[in-house]
Amino acid sequence: MRSLAKLIISVAVLAISIAMAPAAKADPITVRSGGFTLSNLGNDGSGDPAMDRLTGGGRTFTGDVTGGTSFVALLNPLLFETGSTGPNSGGGHPFTFSQLLTINGQTQTMNLVGRIDIDHLVDTVHILSAAPLTFNFTTFSVVVTVIPTDIEGFGCDTNGELHAKFTVVPNTAVPEPATLTLLGLGLAGTAAKLRQRRKRKSS
């Protein structure tokens, strides 16, 4: 009888382990970036209206992801429009901006940090960093990290791209309370019967 009890307990432990193991199947993902427009970057107020201007176009992409993987994807196609920013605009000018990011219907605000360096011939815009965002779903989570980028403008429109790294983390599935309750009752019943048999044998 003891071997039967051990077998029942082993099967129960195996069932719990399987139920709590993360699924290795692929999950669908849809990512949508809201886009942004930044005007008068580094402008001292006497330069061309709205120049320098950086525009990040919104983008949507879909695919399948598997827990424990990561990939790099385009967040925004960029357009850097340069013009006269005024005689007193030289040097570096920090700026901050934000855009909305939506993954599978869940939306968060991505706050980014940048800097524009104004020179006589070349203006350079740098997107430096952003606080990572974490999106939590039933079977997985996605951590989004912006990849820094630079764009140089030579008095004409310049195209660039802002990318981000998407890290997919599998979530550990938790068995339903009803399943755990039934399993617990079964184990308790088995233990009670074993005690009764031991008492009968000892008496």
The per-residue pLDDT for range 9-28, each reduced to its tens digit, is 554 555 555 444 444 578 89
Predicted confidence at residue 62, as pLDDT, reads 95
Per the structure, the complete domain to which residue 93 belongs is given by: 23-171
Is the separation of the CB atoms in 142 and 135 below 8 Å?
A: yes
Q: Are residue 99 and residue 55 in the same domain, yes or no?
A: yes
Q: Are residue 143 and residue 45 in the same domain, yes or no?
A: yes
Which structure tokens are listed for 147?
A: 């990849």
Q: Are residue 120 and residue 163 in the same domain, yes or no?
A: yes
Q: Are residue 189 and residue 125 in the same domain, yes or no?
A: no
Grade residue 175 by pLDDT with cuts at 50, 70 and 90. Answer: low
Q: Are residue 164 and residue 181 in the same domain, yes or no?
A: no
Whether the model clears a pTM of 0.85, i.e. scores above it, the answer is: no
Query: CA 46, 48, 49, 53 torsion: positive or negative?
Result: negative
Per-residue pLDDT tens over the stretch 97-147: 999 999 999 999 999 999 999 998 899 999 999 999 999 999 999 999 999
Hey, is 10 helix, strand or coil?
helix
Q: Which residue in 104, 96, 114 sits closest to 144, CA to CA?
A: 104
Q: Are residue 69 and residue 140 in the same domain, yes or no?
A: yes
Residue 174 has pLDDT above 70, yes or no: no
Q: Are residue 42 and residue 2 in the same domain, yes or no?
A: no
- Rounded-to-integer distance, Cα 27 and Cα 86, Å: 51
Q: Are residue 72 and residue 154 in the same domain, yes or no?
A: yes
Q: Are residue 80 and residue 133 in the same domain, yes or no?
A: yes
Residue 153 has pLDDT above 50, yes or no: yes
Amino acid at 174: V
